[in-house]
Structure 1
């Protein structure tokens, strides 16, 4: 219940929920102040339209992705291990016998981690507990599903599984504890490009030397007329980018 209550304010301050609230406020105040109500509701509607396009989302995606860069020559990075961070899950996937599997974002991270492992032959650590938004504590850890996918689908061995963390800060803290016990100080950190600035900050705060290994860059994709058309993907990118920008600001305050 605590996790559910903690998630509610976060959803309300991010699009599209915050924009629907803005529109609702405009409609409510329109009775007493018609002009002000129209302006507020119109602004909410306009922002909803803009942030629903991939072109509008890029206004927030690009600043995040400029904080990192694709990894060049990973075999010469001097890393001792690969750390890949969890994302989400698809629960009770029927095609996999009802077990949980990594979602498409986690799968993209795993694919890149597998690519890096074949280039470097480094040991792999997967990190992710049940997740802060999961209310069922009996749910299997995200890291377990990730390790299964790496082994069965990509043929990549997994040396360590960190299955206690609930967020990025705990990913870093618990992973660092495992790695230090095994003499690992420098890692290739795998996550998506928008998440990398916050993740790198957390891992460096734990005393690890981090070589950023980001994947899934959206800001540099070619533009087309369809980028101006509202879509679910446009809103997803806007939501995620704003979530990461807020998270990055919070981690800077929290971690100093």
Structure 2
């Protein structure tokens, strides 16, 4: 397992809410007898943060700084672009209604929809990128390409299916595109993911025009945004992961790693 994938896995499992906050709560409770003040403080802070991040209002505190870095695409800026690149997300495994094939999950589907829209508007060729193949599971990019062709009636020029991380998405896609004499691209991914993705694609030597989709922080707050929900916690988790990933990439750059 490469370093990026190891960091990603550890971050997913341990370092993000709700697991990190649940661990903080458990540690705080375990300290109550020996160090009651410290135990109450740790348990209280952990529980309070957990309740905040269980609401859309709380999730927006994490989402906002990421989405400010990724304004919507202005089509007037696409001049000179040679391709559209759509990044993979998750997958639904062995979908029975699709003959048992893996299919893109809702996040990936939203990216594909916007990528198809841009392809229809601009006529630019599409590249889809994403690997994570394993026994019984094809690379994500392959199922993405099938969805674009069959469901969105959108042609796909290139399929990059060896990458496991966003860093590798950029590295391997750049090799394909540079061989095709493409230097300037429209990059499609979630608004929260865009800052990290744009950073590594630019470092791969490509000129990047950000084309973000799925803005979770748009629109005014309503009373329901202060009501705890599982979907709000999922957004908090996603934003936390992207903030951690962006910090990791900045650390890599600071210590001189490619």
TM-score (norm 2): 0.93
Superposition pairs for residues 208-227 of structure 1, below 5 Å?
Answer: 208-227=206-225
- How far the C-alpha of 1:76 sits from its partner, in A, is 4.2
Structure 1 residues 45 and 197, CA, compared in 2 at 3 Å: closer, same or farther?
A: same
Task: Indicate the residue corresponding to 1:129 in structure 2.
Answer: 131
Structure 2: distance between partners of 1:137 and 1:181: 30
Kept in 2: contact 1:110–1:150 (CA 8 A): yes
Q: Give the secondary-structure state (helix, strand or coil) at the position aligned to 1:194.
A: helix
TM-score (norm 1): 0.93
Structure 1: distance between partners of 2:11 and 2:215: 28
- How far the C-alpha of 1:121 sits from its partner, in A, is 0.5
- How far the C-alpha of 1:255 sits from its partner, in A, is 3.5
- How far the C-alpha of 1:222 sits from its partner, in A, is 2.5
For each residue in 1:137-167, what CA deviation from the matched residue of structure 2 results, as whole angstroms up to 9, or x when unmatched? 5520000010000000000000100000000
Q: How large is the Cα RMSD of the aligned pairs?
A: 1.8
Alignment length (residue pairs): 252
Structure 1: distance between partners of 2:189 and 2:228: 27
The answer to whether structure 1 residue 173 and structure 2 residue 175 are counterparts is no
Task: Indicate the residue corresponding to 1:50 in structure 2.
Answer: 52
Structure 1: distance between partners of 2:111 and 2:17: 25
2:148 to 144, 147, 150: 150
- How far the C-alpha of 1:94 sits from its partner, in A, is 1.4
For each residue in 1:66-124, what CA deviation from the matched residue of structure 2 results, as whole angstroms up to 9, or x when unmatched? 11110012574321100000000001111111110000000000000000000001000
The answer to whether structure 1 residue 17 and structure 2 residue 19 are counterparts is yes
* Unpaired runs of at least 5, structure 2: none
For each residue in 1:117-137, what CA deviation from the matched residue of structure 2 results, as whole angstroms up to 9, or x when unmatched? 000010000000017xxxx35
The answer to whether structure 1 residue 197 and structure 2 residue 160 are counterparts is no
Superposition pairs for residues 215-254 of structure 1, below 5 Å?
Answer: 215-254=213-252
* Unpaired runs of at least 5, structure 1: none
1:37 to 36, 39, 64: 39
- How far the C-alpha of 1:7 sits from its partner, in A, is 2.0
Kept in 1: contact 2:85–2:186 (CA 8 A): yes
Structure 2: distance between partners of 1:212 and 1:172: 14
Superposition pairs for residues 37-186 of structure 1, below 5 Å?
Answer: 37-73=39-75, 76-130=78-132, 136-186=134-184
Structure 1 residues 74 and 113, CA, compared in 2 at 3 Å: closer, same or farther?
A: farther
